Chains A and B, each alone.
Chain A
Amino acid sequence: DAGVTQSPTHLIKTRGQQVTLRCSPKSGHDTVSWYQQALGQGPQFIFQYYEEEERQRGNFPDRFSGHQFPNYSSELNVNALLLGDSALYLCASSLVGQGFSYGYTFGSGTRLTVV
């Protein structure tokens, strides 16, 4: 049973560029959440997608956007990259009907470095 798959694993971008990160949720899961984890910090909630719509959003600027596809996979897009966007981006999947019952299943993340 495949867990959460994220791609790419590492990425280096230049300030001002745009980046797209991808996530395939665990089989059977329908909800995808994205987190940003800066070095030495806990994960910070970016947004959550369910039924192809953004359901909740954390305190992140509009430069951060996302999408969920009919197969439940998701993309995170970041425009006009800043040095401060350098972080580990984590995707977490869950089943909405279970609420918090089983917590999240996390991917291994995408390490984004902005230079």
Chain B
Amino acid sequence: AQSVTQPDIHITVSEGASLELRCNYSYGATPYLFWYVQSPGQGLQLLLKYFSGDTLVQGIKGFEAEFKRSQSSFNLRKPSVHWSDAAEYFCAVGERTGGFKTIFGAGTRLFVKA
């Protein structure tokens, strides 16, 4: 079965510093991969997605992610973090079995310090 692992429960970075959130997945075929962000009390918002092609994908809010098949990873990066980026970040893998189902990791909480 497909699974997603986010090794870091929470991360704290200083405003203006770079950010990398880790994600590892387990999937037999070429995965559909996503990063979502969730602000407190809110639903999830799609940041970016990878299906195929260029392994470096750009998303909204200045985020990017790199797909590395050899490492089964899809890490999220941002060169300079803003205080408004503080939120919960979820990596997810899409599974196509009849319909389309998305499986989420447990999430990484990002704290931004001034």
Contact = CB atoms under 8 A, between A and B. Distances in A.
B107 to A, nearest CB: 5
Contacts of A4: 43
A47 B101 CA distance: 9
Contacts of B41: 108
B61 interface: no
B56 interface: no
B51 A90 contact: no
Contacts, number: 75
B100 A94 contact: yes
A38 B74 CA distance: 24
Contact of B99 (A55, A92, A102): A55
A46 B52 CA distance: 27
A40 B90 CA distance: 12
Q: Say what secondary structure dominates the interface of chain B.
A: strand
Interface residues of B, number: 28
Contact of A41 (B4, B42, B51, B106): B106
A56 interface: yes
A43 B99 CA distance: 18
Interface string B15-47: 000000000000000001010100001111110
A11 to B, nearest CB: 15
Given A103-B49, A108-B41, 5 more contacts: A42-B104, A42-B106, A48-B99, A92-B44, A107-B43
